[in-house]
Amino acid sequence: MARLKNTKLARQIHERVKKDGSPLVLISRSALKAQVARFRKALPRVTPYYAIKANSHRDILKVMVAEGTCFDVASIAEMDAVLEAGAKPSQIIFANTIKPVAALKEAGLRGVDLMTFDNECELDKIAEHAPGTRVLVRISVPNVGSIVELGLKFGVDPADAISLLIKAYKLGLRPVGVSFHVGSQCLRSENYSEALEIAAIIARDAHLKQLPFEILDIGGGFPIMQGADEEDPFDHMASVVSSELDRLFEPHIQVIAEPGRFFAGPAGTLITRVVGKAIRENKHWYYLDDGLYGTLSAQVFDHAKFEYKTTREGRTRLCALAGPTCDSFDTIARSVEMPELDIGDIVYVERIGAYSTGSATTFNGMPMAKVVMVP
């Protein structure tokens, strides 16, 4: 889909580029708020902890604080960013299962006392450097069909979960439950169903052994559409999750989740301009002022498949898009339908608010996209 039919949107894009230049990432406050509201309506029992690795821009964090969400952080830098935005320590989960000793000490100083772990060595570290912390054991669950598989690097075998919770208790920590992640951009509701069944078995076993089971962390993975023609699976998936939670877990168990992409993704729009053009492979190549080392790094690290659009009208032809760096790897797409473009023409990408600016660099000294909050 290369042609922009919405003339109002085209005018807004050109006005914004005239004011702020390019490359440019627009983050919509209303879109962020709408996604939070949608999540809460679909999963009323689940408290969202925004996974700020998706996009930790300070203005996004301020919106999330204002919306009353909690936060999932993976480092002290992320923790400090959330606290500076106005969140309370009680609203934070330190959800990286492997944490440096220094980070454990600093978390304690900041009053953050909820963490995940998935191995004995980590338990020993937490007990020594963050005594009395509440801990969730992260278990490995099926990631079948998820775009980014997360079960290889993280998660203990569910059969070992209870023994680790017992060890946590003996070390003076406060074991409070289980966490899992079904894989990023999960497209199968069955992943959640299977993971919840596994967690419920652990919860029952914990009860029999008189271990506390107060919190269930169902992680992230909630999908978003990246193309206009894609079917949105979220509502069906949320309905399955909500039903299974009520079937398997008593009402007193607190359920939390760590949506990142689901909140930030739909809120972002990347605007780039053509800085060069050539004929190669019998087609036009257009060189943009952002690429795979910049905002479009999401194609590399997040396996994202974006839809490239332009504000120019006209008959479309097959073309290629490339980034501004002098690395041949920085080739964005080789087969895109576009009208013939000129230097300065705009190419833009919607739904790119997650896992994009966070992994961007200034390779070759190319500037990263300016981030601008819009209504």
Contact between residue 285 and residue 322 where contact means Cβ atoms under 8 Å apart: yes
Contact between residue 351 and residue 224 where contact means Cβ atoms under 8 Å apart: yes
Residue ranges of E strands in the chain: 24-28, 46-51, 70-73, 92-94, 114-117, 134-138, 174-179, 215-217, 254-257, 268-280, 283-288, 308-310, 316-322, 331-339, 346-350, 370-374
Q: How many other C-beta atoms can be found within 10 angstroms of the C-beta atom of residue 74? A: 18
Residue ranges of E strands in 96-194: 114-117, 134-138, 174-179
Alpha-carbon distance of 374 to 36, in angstroms, equals: 17
Give bridge partners of residue 277 from the DSSP assignment: 286
Alpha-carbon distance of 198 to 202, in angstroms, equals: 7
Q: Which residue shows structure tokens 């209504």?
A: 375
Burial of 8 from C-beta contacts in 10 A (0-12 / 13-18 / 19+): exposed
DSSP count for the chain of H helices, then E strands: 11, 16
Does residue 319 have an active-site annotation?
A: no
Catalytic residue among 70, 121, 186, 326: 326
Alpha-carbon distance of 58 to 251, in angstroms, equals: 35
Alpha-carbon distance of 219 to 181, in angstroms, equals: 5
Can you give the length of the chain in residues?
Answer: 375
The token pair that represents 354 in the structure block: 């997650």
| Start-to-end CA span in the chain (Å) | 25
Q: Which residue shows structure tokens 């821009």?
A: 57
Nearest to 270 by CA among 28, 51, 63, 36: 28
Q: Which residues are catalytic?
A: 326
